[in-house]
Amino acid sequence: MCIFCQIVNQEIPANRVYEDTDTLAFLDIKPINAGHILVVPKKHYQNFEDVPEEELKKVIVTVKKMGALLKDKLGVVGYNVVENNDPVSGQIIAHLHFHVIPRHQVDGNAFWDQRDYQPGEAEEVMKKLIN
């Protein structure tokens, strides 16, 4: 059983921020910034493609609530919502989860470096995506 399922089942402790019938939100034990929340479906789904749409809607509603909670209770000016899908993207726990990460004007956290497409690269990608 995965660690998030164990948290859902209260087999291991977590700082639970919010819970309803289908979802659970709790503090990440290795936060990017204080207040970093993880939102999970209570049922085990490995990644984004595995979760049925109706379940995903419930999770996203909880993500939205947690973002508003961070703004209201911690006074943050913004937040990131991140879902790492599969190990190559940084998913460590094979249970669908969303990070709701409080952001501050100057917090020193950069999430990714952007780059420019090389000549013709965007067109090649588009061909693959839409054909």
Catalytic entry in 36, 44, 95, 97: 97
CA distance 96 to 119: 36
CA distance 131 to 119: 20
- Model pLDDT for residues 70-102, shown as the tens digit of each residue: 999 999 999 999 999 988 888 999 999 999 999
Asked if 97 is an active-site residue, the reply is yes
pLDDT category at 106 given cuts 50, 70, 90 is confident
DSSP run (H or E) holding 89: none
CA separation for the pair 131, 128 (Å, rounded): 6
Two structure tokens written together for 103? 């952001």
Going along the chain from its start, the domains and CATH numbers come out as 3-130 (3.30.428.10)
Of 128, 121, 60, the closest CA to residue 68 belongs to: 60
What's the pLDDT at 89?
87
Per-residue model confidence (pLDDT) at position 104: 87
Predicted confidence band of residue 49 (pLDDT cuts 50, 70, 90): very high
